[in-house]
Amino acid sequence: MSVRVRFAPSPTGEPHIGNVRTVVFNWLFARKMGGQFILRIEDTDRVRYQPETIPVIMEGLRWLGLDWDEGPGLEELKRAGVENAEAYAVGGPYGPYIQSERLPLYKQVAEELIAAGWAYRCNCTPERLEEVRQAQRARGQPPMYDRHCRYLPPDAISPDEPHVIRLKVPLTGRTVFQDVIRGEVVFENAGIDDQVLLKSDGFPTYHLAVVVDDHSMKVTHVIRGDDWVPSTPKHVLLYQALGWEMPVFCHVPLVTMPGGKKLAKRAGATSITEFRKQGYLAEALLNFLALLGWAPGEGETQEIFSREELIERFDLYRVNRAPAAFSYDKLDWMNGVYIRSLSSDELLERLLPFWQEAGLVPVPCPPETRAVLRRIVPLIQERIKHLTDVVEMTDFFFVDIAPPSAEQLLAQGLDAEKAREVLRRTRAVLADVPEFSEEAIEPSLRALVEELGLSNRQVFGLIRIATTGKAVSPPLFGTLSILGRERVLARLEAAERQLM
Ligand code: GLU
């Protein structure tokens, strides 16, 4: 039997990167096993519903390369108000894939559960429920429904009056399930609430909808965050009540900061969109997420895996039981490795939107600018860790710089007079080099350093700050050559004037 797994986000915001890691596991498992990866939208929480996040979620998955085999179709997406629905529509044989489109199905199952003695109607008012909760709190008990309506005669509440439908949880005994990661998990029934299954507005709760959908979409493995473990006994009871075969449960440990603290926002990056904006490559983020809580083998030291290698080597049964620590430093390192592994043409394409976003390069990029970018890329490829780094590192190629201050110009320890001399002689040398190429510039400037009897650091540091406005820049000779003779001479002259 082919495996079928799903990612079932609630469109209440963009999924947290920790949850995205769980999506990566689902996707890798599906691809490894030659099965299907389903995307289902769980929009039953109408209070927190934010329809605009549906395309954002889809765009994020697509950017990471996590393609789904089944998911909302065109009409469903249109009805959910998704713009550009054509771009995301996939469809499939078990639709609809947006839960609000499936309400009659949940209602039917809830009624079947009542008929079978596994559920009951409840018309307790919110005020009464609040009183019950307060009394329980006062007694130091966990808040639970007091089962008032469970003991009413069967016809006491008419199907036509406002009410909810609750699960009739056995009062004694235990509910047990096997989990791929945790092994046997046992819950005392006495501690399980008579969960609402169907709300008075006709919408199911998550618990009913997830079971109905996982069953009817023939999901074989439920791989989700282990914050759902406490909900699972309710699901298990529903499977038993309905006589449905249970999927395999696999509750994946949380993602934390190194040291076990809750995953904090660093510079805001906790969603795919944010990582993307901060200049991470999709393939680096995918590689990184796949290794959060999973390793391909005992003693394995390789850390860089292509998408194909990850699929080939992924093993759900080797997912770690301990929470996985999210190290931004490691992600940065990995991103640098991936950036360096790109061809310079490919890197140029990835960098272009960042240059354009910063207003340094026009949209569309004219051919003559592209020719310049093609020369810049090899100079910076070894130096950037994020695609965004390119803006700060290369802005001086595109815009005029303010002449650096005397203090900046003298930072290498020369006095003003000596610095002026260096700048003047550099200008003379650079005015004279026959061709303004890296190959011609380098030997002439090195000869100048010799003649002046100064150090490389002093002379090149001064030229660097004068022509780029920065103490750290891409390699100097290549940078000068790309800037071109005219701009270099003008910037050197402007710097000299700062020291008069
Ligand atoms: N809609 C749930 C969520 O937002 C899905 C949980 C599950 O995978 O069962 O995470």
Give pLDDT tens digits for 134-151.
999 999 999 999 999 999
Distance 200 CA to ligand 1 centre (A): 22
Tell me the average pLDDT across 435-458. Answer: 97
Please indicate whether residue 213, judged by its CB atom, sits closer than 6 Å to ligand 1: no
The pLDDT assigned to 463 comes to 98
Band of residue 276 on the pLDDT scale cut at 50, 70, 90: very high
The pLDDT assigned to 297 comes to 82
Band of residue 55 on the pLDDT scale cut at 50, 70, 90: very high
Please indicate whether residue 209, judged by its CB atom, sits closer than 6 Å to ligand 1: no
Cβ(325)–Cβ(254) under 8 Å? no
Please indicate whether residue 8, judged by its CB atom, sits closer than 6 Å to ligand 1: yes
Please tell me the least confidently modeled range out of 23-32, 191-200, 295-304.
295-304
Which tokens belong to 225? 């965050």
Q: Which atom of ligand 1 is nearest to the CA of 223?
A: 8
Catalytic: 265? yes
Please tell me the least confidently modeled range out of 19-23, 92-96, 258-262, 390-394.
258-262
Tell me the average pLDDT across 240-269. Answer: 85
Band of residue 254 on the pLDDT scale cut at 50, 70, 90: confident
The pLDDT assigned to 266 comes to 63
Distance 37 CA to ligand 1 centre (A): 15
Please indicate whether residue 10, judged by its CB atom, sits closer than 6 Å to ligand 1: yes
* Burial (CB count <10 Å: 0-12, 13-18, 19+), residue 333: middle
Please write the tens of the pLDDT for every residue from 148-190. Answer: 999 999 899 999 999 999 999 999 999 999 999 999 999 999 9
Please indicate whether residue 9, judged by its CB atom, sits closer than 6 Å to ligand 1: yes
| Total-model pTM | 0.93
Backbone dihedral angles phi then psi of residue 41, each to the nearest 5 degrees: -100, 120
Band of residue 8 on the pLDDT scale cut at 50, 70, 90: very high
Please indicate whether residue 6, judged by its CB atom, sits closer than 6 Å to ligand 1: no
Indicate which residue of 265, 277, 385, 470 is catalytic.
265
Give just the sign of the alpha carbon dihedral 350, 354, 355, 361. Answer: positive
Band of residue 117 on the pLDDT scale cut at 50, 70, 90: very high
Distance 471 CA to ligand 1 centre (A): 50
Tell me the average pLDDT across 236-257. Answer: 95
Task: Determine the Cα–Cα distance for residues 73 and 86; give it in Å rounded to an integer.
Answer: 9
The pLDDT assigned to 361 comes to 98
Residue 204 CA: distances (Å) to CA of 166, 210, 474: 11, 9, 59
**Which residue, 330, 337, 286, is CA-closest to 308?**
286
Band of residue 435 on the pLDDT scale cut at 50, 70, 90: very high
Q: Is it the case that residue 319 has pLDDT exceeding 90?
A: yes
Backbone dihedral angles phi then psi of residue 71, each to the nearest 5 degrees: 180, 180
**Which residue, 409, 427, 429, 431, is CA-closest to 418?**
409
Please indicate whether residue 210, judged by its CB atom, sits closer than 6 Å to ligand 1: yes
What is the overall mean pLDDT for the chain?
96
Q: Which atom of ligand 1 is nearest to the CA of 214?
A: 9
The pLDDT assigned to 267 comes to 54
Q: Is it the case that residue 268 has pLDDT exceeding 60?
A: no
Q: Which atom of ligand 1 is nearest to the CA of 6?
A: 8
**Which residue, 11, 112, 24, 17, is CA-closest to 307?**
24
Q: Whose Cα sits closest to atom 8 in ligand 1?
A: 224
Mutate to test the pocket of ligand 1, among 5, 7, 42 (most ligand atoms within 8 A of CB): 42
